[in-house]
Structure 1
């Protein structure tokens, strides 16, 4: 089954992502100078709406580290902005159009939770089958 992902360009010049397997690239929609140790927000110029039940996980390029939760949820239709910190030993310059990361879209398995009492102490013998 193919999921249809709606997107909107917030910045008219930004490239529309092309899907590669279950991932798509994110690009910076602005020039940014990231000083070593400083936290900045990078705008991608895109707003993405995932179908209900899907989640997108953001992975950044090696020179960047993500500060916030790296997920896109289906109810979020706001422009994608990523809070980052330089993962290099120096300052970092990011230009408009530079790839800053990828988003991988997952269909997480739905779960039900069952409360059990398998022993209150970690490492203690318990009554699980096979233990």
Structure 2
């Protein structure tokens, strides 16, 4: 699992760090975020902290997947965020490129931790 959890942790952690350190920059470079309303730097920083916390859970799980309890809070936040985007796409629609972008950058990376928790992995058998 480490080969999946580590890049996910880097991805979500970098996003959260940018949101926390430079909310104005984050707001200006993330496509279509302006459609959600004007910048609220405090709110962007709050969400950045949630992404950093999720990344920390991914790191802990990457270091010891047998202790997957650390992955649950990250999976709940990230899958919830992905689900919100899927619901908005379903209700409001999006141009094909925007939908594909959200799928690749939000939905898949958001649902992957939940998939890793619920997939019936075979336990390693030692003789």
TM-score by length of 2: 0.22
Q: Select the structure of larger CA radius of gyration.
A: 1
TM-score by length of 1: 0.22
